[in-house]
Amino acid sequence: MNSSPPLKSLVYFAAAMRLNSFSMAASELFVTPGAVGQQIRNLERWLGVALFTRHIRQVRPTEDGLAYWARIQPALAQINDASLTLRDRQSCGVWLTMPPGLAAKWFARRMSGFLRSHPAIALHLSSSVVLVDFANERVDLAIRHFDGHAPELETHLLYQDEARLYCSPSYAARFGLNTPDDLRQTTLLHSTLHPHWSEWLARFSGISKGQVAQMAGIHFDQSLMAIEAARHEQGVVLTSPMLTEEEVNSGALIEPFGQRLPLAKGFYMVQPRLSISRPAVQALKEWLIAEAATPPA
């Protein structure tokens, strides 16, 4: 018997374990489920143990399979990371991900400036609220909205967030919004990213908790939709000033009051700790830091 395990089979085994499915592993590897099963049987014969129990339309890892995966997963991740690092060492491509609202409202208006100053860099942008798995995803940098506590990551604060209240000028005039107490008859636009209405009203208004519970409200899972609803005179929204630059600059949204709620979270640029940035990645990092430090027009 060969003294080394069948390396091709390890690739198939890793995909099946990550995806918990032979068919999904087959789709990822562009082969048939039967080919995945055959490669894993080859590995099982070499190891002398069963790695999966087979059922109708379902496979489950055995205890030996789980233990084996726990041992080899870090090594496979290291091989993948070393291979990508070597392959991309001179690459001019940069892969960046950030929340959808920030991508659409803040970054989209600025990215042409980065590309003009770095025309040789190919920028790959994706937007997601899911935490990045740097070990298994092709991502160089990510921007996350959180408290900055991530010991496994190198973090750089781009903007310490705060919740500001916005509405359209005509909405403010219609409801006579001169003080926070005037919000009683308005519609509160709630977003998942800034769910701070109770705290904001408790700090800055005399509206009781009971009255707050009776106020009309619309809930959005995307800040983009909440901001757009406010622009169309559907209510008042609490959100970040980083996401409302365009609307404020054009006069579509205003801050009827000056009260602003400081938040523990912020927009952080993150990457794996101790990672070595390629020149293209370093250029994007420096540009993001400088751009975030520049006051909006």
CATH number of the CATH domain containing 169: 3.40.190.10
Is 231 in the same domain as 145?
A: no
- Structure tokens of 154? 């190198």
* Range 160-171 average pLDDT: 97
Inform me whether the pLDDT recorded for 191 exceeds 90.
yes
Q: Is the pLDDT of residue 112 over 70?
A: yes
pLDDT tens per residue across span 287-297? 999 999 986 65
Amino acid 146 reads F
- What's the CA gap between 196 and 169, in Å, rounded? 22
Q: Following DSSP, what letter does each residue of 227-280 receive, concatenated? A: HHHHHTTS-EEEE-GGGSHHHHHHTSSB-SS--EEEEEEEEEEEEETTPPPPHH
My answer on whether 170 and 240 are in the same domain is yes
* Average pLDDT score over residue span 213-228: 94
Over range 14-43, report the average pLDDT. Answer: 91
What integer pLDDT is reported at residue 79 of this predicted model?
83
- Assess whether 168 and 256 both reside in one domain: yes
In angstroms, the CA 50 to CA 61 distance is 9
Residue given tokens 């609202």 in the structure block: 101
Residue 1 confidence (pLDDT) above 80:
no
Task: Mark whether 246 and 178 lie in a shared domain.
Answer: yes
Residue with tokens 């609803």: 229
Question: What is the domain range of residue 69?
Answer: 7-86
Q: Into how many domains does the chain fold?
A: 3
Tens-digit pLDDT profile for residues 117-143: 999 899 999 998 888 888 778 889 999
Last residue of a domain, one of 57, 86, 115: 86
Does 58 map to a domain?
A: yes
> What mean pLDDT is predicted for residues 8-28?
91
Percent of all residues in the chain with a pLDDT value above 90, rounded to a whole number: 74
Residue 218's Cβ-count burial label (10 Å; 0-12, 13-18, 19+) is middle
Given a cut of 80, whether residue 235 has pLDDT beyond it is yes
Amino acid in the structure at residue 148: G
DSSP letter string, 66-102: HHHHHHHHHHHHHHHHHHHHHHTTT--EEEEEE-HHH
Considering the chain, what is the average pLDDT of its residues?
Answer: 91
Short-list 117, 102, 121, 74, CA closest to 278: 121
What pairing do the DSSP bridges indicate for beta strands 260-272 and 153-166? antiparallel
Would residue 33 count as lying in a domain? yes
Average pLDDT over residues 80-97: 75
